[in-house]
Structures are given as structure tokens and as C-alpha cells.
């Protein structure tokens, strides 16, 4: 049975993506019998191309996606180069892990509340500058999409940082840094010339996932991106939600176009990699050392701290708004505080938390069972999946959600499973599985195999070794992976909305729905609510092992497991 788990797991990830893509591509050429599309035609494409401002939307998606990815990668690489192995590095490492659990939409709302013309930053400036009304500037929804780029960057930095962190040990970075320093290289130059080429291949897939996400994101774009016209993915969602069902054909063409845009973005990125690689090979051996790079190191630290600070301050301002009474510009804090809105919304909040958990708990349980099965199977057979399999694990993160979620909805309708909890959980699993796998595979594989061998030689059956040795030793890693999975399902907007067809009002769909209304107190409440479950998950992942193994020093955080 165990040996079938890897293939079942892959089917759970690749199956919905493939079914969804087919279900998107066919309607884009007019084939969708349920809506009366019987014959192949190019009409949907003609309708799409006739949409006003389409070229503008495409440009926004493509350029913003590339810019957000490039900025995130550069900041993370600079910071790692400048501070790896120092105390600053460890402090930020602790700070960035919890930030990773903040849903994208929450971070975007928090950022909006900080940088909006009437936001916290403007209020602080107003104290000094003596403004009595907000500056007349379009900072949020700005025409260039700069706010959206910043919103993506502050959330992608922690992700890329943790992925880099996982790759660092394999490059023997601490000793490499000593060698380059003793040869007279500045920290950053030494790192970029020697360490980066060794670790980049391992963070390449996560970088491409960030690129695909940034180029096709919907929820962050609804909150921060320009609206006239909006990036393509937001417009597709608008067409999909249109009461006129004939718009679905055009929306499908748009979704296929969105896939094309992501592929173009990846092509540009990979081309850029090649150019940077070629230039870098010359640069690596030209002997330039940039021995005194203090200014650059401090610049990198400031950028990373500002990014982390923006998310944390954003959460604080969400909290303040959620309990704010009267709060006029330019007051830095509200005149009075009130829990009235929390009390009024109490029942509704409970409902959306419950719905979120009804979807999230089964998704996480199925995902952790499958991933543990895959990894246990690796141990028992001694075969590690090949490098190529990693592409399949990343597939759901590389294909834009909007390009296959509508098709998946079509597919579920076809088999009579539309609008069910079952289909929503399946849709969430597509994204929960890869993250749970990525989170658990490193610690699972790093567990000393001799524990298992010793237990077997003591006469324990493989199942007993799994349940009584491997699983308890990995308690913390398993719970962390489950918390990551929970954070992923809580943050899902598009799958919940499209596959559930509006039937499942989770904290995230409710929060994003509030974006257009602009009721800051309600947004504050729902933004925090989005945070609550992931935060509780990570807290439990720390607390449970601490209680279970309170009297086992060898199970502490810094042991050899």
C-alpha cells in the first residue's frame, strides 16, 4: 500500500492542474457544451482582444510580476551575502518565519493602511509638516502598480529567505566565507562570487514560483493594484463572476492568455539568468574584491528590516483600526477605542472561522498523511525521487491559479461535484501538498537513518519504527509542516471562491470582499482574523513538543535531529 502513496500524491497535485487546464483551454476555443458552446471557434479570443485596455493590463501583470520578483530576490541575496552567520542574521531569521504565516491579503491590507494618503505614515508626517488633510496622491491603486509591487515584495522576501536558508548548509557557506575573507574579498562580493552560484540552482524553483505568483495574483491585486485597468488576472475574475454567462468563454481565453504571460515572464527570467551567469563568470575571476562594503551591507540590512517591519506594523495598524472609535486625520491614534464592532460581528466571525477550519482541517490531515507516506516510503525502499520530480511538486505553484481554477470548476460541474466541500478540499490540497512536502522533506531526510536501523535490529517492525521512533522524533517538524499547510489553506482566495462558487465564506474570501467597500474597521477585524488561525497553528507547533518533551533535553530545538 505504502508504495502507491507517492503516485497518489502526485495525482492529487498534477491531476487537478491538468484537468483544470483542459477545462480552461477548451472553452477558450468556444467548446463548453454546458453553456451552449458546441463548436470550435475563435470568437472568445476576438472578444478578449476587443476588450479596452487589454494591452495595458498585460503590461501591468508582466512588468509588475518581474519587478516584484527581481526586487525580492536581490534583497534576499544581498541580505544573505551581507549578514549570513551573524547575530543580525539569526534575529531576522526568527522574525521572518512567523511573517511567512501572514496571509498575502492580510499583509496587503496592513501595507495599504500604512502607506495610504490617510495611513499611518502620512499621519506621522502630518504631525511634522502640519498637514490637516491627507495629501492628494494616489498611493494605493497607483497607476504604475508600485504599491502592489511593494505588497508582493514584503511577502515574498520571507519565503525566498527561508528557501535560501534551506539551501545554505549544502554549500558549506561559513567556511567558504572564511576563505574568501582571507583572500581579501568583502563579504558580499565573496558570497556573490562563490556561494551564490552554488546555491542558486536550489532556489531556482521557488524563485520561479514567486514569479508565477506575482504575475498572476488576484487577492493582493484587488487590494493594491490599479483598477483602470486592473492587471489581467483581476479582470478575468471579474468576467468569470459576471452574471452574463457568455462572458465565461472570453474569461477562459483570458486565463489561457494569463498562462502565456507567466510563460513569457519565466522565459524573460531564464534569459536574464543566462546573461547574468555569463557576465558573472567573468566577474568572478576578475579579482575585484570590494573589500570595504559596509555601506552596502547596512543598506541590505535596512531593506530587509523595512520589509519585515512593514508586515509587522501593518498587523499593528490593522489591530488599531479594528478597535478604533472616532479617528480623524491627522491623529496618530484614535480618540477612543471600542470593541463594539467585534461584539456585533462576533457570530459572523465564528461562522467564517468555522468554515475556514472545515476546509482547512481535512486538507491538512490528508496532506500530512500523504507526505509522511511518501517520505516513509523513501526510507523503506532507499530510493529518493529524482530531481525532475521536484518540478512536478512545484507544478501547482508554477501554473497561475486563475488559469486552471475555472477549468477545474468546469470539470467538477461535469462530474457533479461542483460547490461541494469535497471539491473545495481537493482544490486546496493542490496547494497545501507542495508546501507541506517542502516543509517536511528536509527534516525527515535529515533524521539520522541509524535510528531506524538500530530500532529494526532491536526487532521492531517497520511500522513500529515509524510510529514509535521516527514520528515522535519528528514531532516538531511534522507539526510545523501542518501549521504551514494550515496557513496555506487559510490564505487561499481563488480556489475557495471559484470551486465553492460562493458557498464557502472563509475569513479570506470575506476579507478580500471587504476591499472594495473600504470600511477600515471591518477590514481590520477580518485581516486579523485571517492571521489568527495560522498564528495559532504555529504556536501549537511550538507548544505541543515543548509540553510533550519537557523532560527530554535531547528533543530541544538545537539537538542533532
Partner 1 sequence: MSNTQMKSGLELRDLSIRLGDRLLVDVDLVIAPGEIVTLMGPSGSGKSSLLGHICGTLPPVFDVQGVVCLNDTVLDGLAPQDRHVGILFQDDLLFPHLSVGGNLAFALPSSIRGKTERRARVAGALESAGLAGFAERDPATLSGGQRARVALMRVLLSEPGVLLLDEPFSKLDRGLRDQIRSFVFDLARKNGLPTLMVTHDPEDGQAANGRVIALD
- Interacting residue ranges for partner 1, rule: CB under 8 A: 381-382, 448, 450-462, 468-469, 472-473, 475, 549, 551-555, 559, 561
Asked whether the beta carbons of 308 and 99 are under 8 A apart, the reply is yes
| 310 Cβ contact list (under 8 Å, min separation 6) | 110, 111, 114, 150, 154
CB of 451 to partner 1, least distance (A): 6
Helix (H) or strand (E) holding 488: helix 475-491
CB of 389 to partner 1, least distance (A): 18
Comparing CB distances to partner 1, the nearer of 46 and 464 is 464
Comparing CB distances to partner 1, the nearer of 271 and 449 is 449
Asked whether the beta carbons of 430 and 21 are under 8 A apart, the reply is no
Distance CA 428, CA 494 (A): 10
Comparing CB distances to partner 1, the nearer of 153 and 455 is 455
CB of 458 to partner 1, least distance (A): 4
CB of 440 to partner 1, least distance (A): 18
Distance CA 317, CA 252 (A): 38
Asked whether the beta carbons of 480 and 439 are under 8 A apart, the reply is yes
Distance CA 298, CA 449 (A): 42
Distance CA 290, CA 266 (A): 32
CB of 374 to partner 1, least distance (A): 18
| 346 Cβ contact list (under 8 Å, min separation 6) | none
Comparing CB distances to partner 1, the nearer of 78 and 474 is 474
Comparing CB distances to partner 1, the nearer of 416 and 459 is 459
Helix (H) or strand (E) holding 333: none
Cell numbers describing residue 180? 574568501
Comparing CB distances to partner 1, the nearer of 41 and 468 is 468
Comparing CB distances to partner 1, the nearer of 90 and 552 is 552
**Cis omega (within 30 of 0) on the bond before 516?**
no
Q: Where are the alpha helices (DSSP H) in 116-195?
A: 120-129, 146-167, 173-182, 187-190
Amino acid at each position: 500500500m505504502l508504495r502507491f502513496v507517492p503516485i497518489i500524491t502526485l495525482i492529487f497535485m498534477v491531476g487537478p492542474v491538468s484537468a483544470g487546464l483542459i477545462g480552461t483551454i477548451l472553452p477558450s476555443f468556444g467548446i463548453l457544451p454546458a453553456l451552449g458552446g458546441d463548436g470550435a471557434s475563435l470568437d472568445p479570443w476576438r472578444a478578449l482582444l476587443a476588450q479596452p485596455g487589454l494591452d495595458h493590463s498585460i503590461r501591468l501583470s508582466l512588468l509588475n510580476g518581474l519587478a516584484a520578483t527581481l526586487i525580492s530576490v536581490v534583497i534576499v541575496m544581498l541580505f544573505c551575502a551581507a549578514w549570513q552567520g551573524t547575530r543580525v542574521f539569526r534575529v531576522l531569521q526568527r522574525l521572518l518565519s512567523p511573517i511567512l504565516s501572514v496571509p498575502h491579503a492580510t499583509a496587503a491590507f496592513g501595507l495599504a493602511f500604512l502607506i495610504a494618503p490617510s495611513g499611518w505614515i502620512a499621519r506621522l508626517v502630518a504631525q511634522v509638516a502640519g498637514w490637516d488633510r491627507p495629501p492628494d496622491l494616489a498611493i494605493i491603486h497607483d497607476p504604475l502598480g508600485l504599491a502592489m509591487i511593494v505588497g508582493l515584495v514584503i511577502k515574498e522576501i520571507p519565503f525566498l529567505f527561508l528557501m535560501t536558508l534551506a539551501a545554505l548548509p549544502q554549500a558549506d557557506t561559513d567556511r567558504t566565507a572564511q576563505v574568501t575573507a582571507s583572500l581579501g574579498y568583502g563579504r558580499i562580493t565573496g558570497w556573490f562570487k562563490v556561494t551564490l552560484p552554488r546555491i542558486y540552482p536550489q532556489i531556482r524553483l521557488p524563485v520561479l514560483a514567486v514569479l508565477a505568483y506575482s504575475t498572476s495574483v488576484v487577492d493582493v491585486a484587488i487590494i493594491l493594484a490599479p483598477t483602470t485597468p486592473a492587471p489581467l488576472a483581476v479582470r478575468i475574475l471579474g468576467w468569470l463572476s459576471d452574471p452574463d454567462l457568455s462572458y465565461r468563454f472570453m474569461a477562459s481565453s483570458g486565463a489561457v492568455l494569463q498562462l502565456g504571460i507567466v510563460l513569457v515572464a519565466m522565459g524573460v527570467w531564464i534569459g536574464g539568468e543566462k546573461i547574468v551567469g555569463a557576465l558573472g563568470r567573468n566577474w568572478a575571476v576578475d579579482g575585484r574584491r570590494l573589500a570595504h562594503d559596509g555601506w552596502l551591507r547596512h543598506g541590505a540590512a535596512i531593506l530587509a528590516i523595512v520589509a519585515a517591519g512593514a508586515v509587522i506594523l501593518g498587523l499593528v495598524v490593522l489591530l488599531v483600526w479594528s478597535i478604533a472609535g472616532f479617528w480623524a486625520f491627522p491623529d496618530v491614534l484614535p480618540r477612543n477605542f471600542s470593541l463594539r464592532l467585534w461584539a456585533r460581528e462576533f457570530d459572523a466571525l465564528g461562522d467564517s472561522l468555522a468554515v475556514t477550519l472545515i476546509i482547512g482541517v481535512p486538507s491538512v490531515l490528508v496532506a500530512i498523511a500523504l507526505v509522511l507516506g511518501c517520505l516513509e516510503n523513501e526510507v523503506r525502499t532507499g530510493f529518493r525521487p529524482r530531481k525532475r520530480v521536484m518540478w512536478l511538486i512545484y507544478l501547482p505553484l508554477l501554473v497561475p491559479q486563475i488559469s486552471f481554477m475555472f477549468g477545474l470548476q468546469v470539470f467538477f460541474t461535469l462530474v457533479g461535484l461542483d460547490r461541494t466541500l469535497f471539491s473545495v478540499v481537493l482544490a486546496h490540497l493542490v496547494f497545501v501538498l507542495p508546501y507541506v512536502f517542502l516543509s517536511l522533506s528536509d527534516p525527515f531526510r535529515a533524521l539520522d537513518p541509524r535510528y531506524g536501523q538500530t530500532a529494526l535490529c532491536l526487532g521492531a517492525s517497520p511500522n513500529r519504527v515509524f510510529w514509535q521512533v521516527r514520528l515522535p522524533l519528528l514531532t516538531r517538524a511534522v507539526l510545523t509542516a501542518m501549521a504551514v499547510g494550515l496557513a496555506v489553506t487559510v490564505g487561499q482566495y481563488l480556489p475557495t471562491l471559484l470551486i465553492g462558487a460562493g458557498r464557502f465564506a472563509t475569513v479570506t474570501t470575506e476579507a478580500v470582499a471587504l476591499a472594495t467597500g473600504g470600511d477600515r474597521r471591518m477590514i481590520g477585524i477580518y485581516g486579523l482574523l485571517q492571521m489568527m488561525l495560522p498564528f495559532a497553528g504555529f504556536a501549537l507547533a511550538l507548544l505541543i513538543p515543548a509540553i510533550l518533551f519537557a523532560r527530554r533535553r535531547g528533543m530541544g530545538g538545537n539537538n542533532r535531529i
